[in-house]
Amino acid sequence: MTKVLITGGGGYIGAQLVPILLERGYDVTVIDTFAHRVNSLGHVCHDDRLEIVRGDARDEALVSAHLKDMDVVIPLAALVGAPLCDREPLSAQSINVDAVKMLVSRLSKDQQVIFPVTNSGYGVGEQGAFCTEESPLRPISLYGRTKVEAEKIVMAHENAISFRLATVFGMSSRMRIDLLVNDFCYRACRDRTIVIFEGHFKRNYIHVRDVALGFLHGLDNFSTMRGEVYNMGLSSANLSKLELATKIKEQVPSLVYIEAETGEDPDKRDYIVSNDKLEATGWRPAYSLEQGIKELVKGYQMLRNEVYSNI
């Protein structure tokens, strides 16, 4: 049976990925600090193929002890998002880069790695031109810089795949309401108002469950995809923030959104992304932006708590 180690497996993506891997028959070990005190994997604790280890991905002895018998490693542990990394720069470096470097240095040549990276590494794209995997990386945030550096470390390992993720959205049992689509939907449901800064800035989006299914696609096709970097996003959703707000208003008609005349977005990324390379391997996203908005509107009938934000 294939054994998978996931650092940060109790987080937003891991909470979706772990159950899918268990359903497919993988043995899964999760290392996580569970710092957010959310019972994100409680619904799969009955599965004997799941091992949960409370610990830090920076703990060399702990990681080494659990790494040695693994076939696949998925390093999800990270400080995610520009505001959080700016607030905790030392932790951003130690978790996003140093912990990854330590882990990779202990891999055997046969152990496989699937690594998630933000496509915010593209920074500001050229007007009207799609960012491909060959486009220059020009990260404009500490978060983006740490993930670009970590990707270089991972891809130096001969048995690795990197997925450059679009902005993720959708419900998860370790919810994050600070991601752009999730945030806009939360404000639409709670406040009925969104104030948008620099609404013309564009980016790409992807459902959190499609990310998990994309990792599974990488596992299923590892021999043909190894050694490569792939953008992972919805090709139908290269949208500006104003266009996103319009999509949400279609499902929350009471929403009023206003573009601020002054002020600026601290996250300056602005680009559109091509996902052709990953789609050429046979992967297709299963969830549209509209479906994600619908589930978020439903989910926010339950959530009224800022604990679900990274900032």
Q: Residues 114-131: pLDDT tens digits?
A: 999 999 889 887 777 999
pLDDT band at 306 (very low <50, low <70, confident <90, very high): low
pLDDT digits (tens, 9 = 90+) for 97-106: 999 999 999 9
Q: Domains of the chain by range and CATH?
A: 3-169+205-235+268-286 (3.40.50.720)
Hey, what are 10's tokens? 């109790």
Q: pTM for the complete prediction?
A: 0.94
Structure tokens at 171: 């419900």
pLDDT at res. 260: 86
57-80, pLDDT tens digit by residue? 999 999 999 999 999 999 999 999
* Average pLDDT score over residue span 215-237: 97
Q: How far is CA 253 from the centre of its chain?
A: 29
Average pLDDT over the chain, rounded to whole?
Answer: 94
Strand pairing partners for 5?
A: 29, 73
* Per-residue confidence (pLDDT) for residue 20, from 0 to 100: 97
Distance CA 223, CA 80 (A): 29
**CA separation, residue 183 to residues 195, 265, 297 (Å):** 12, 14, 11
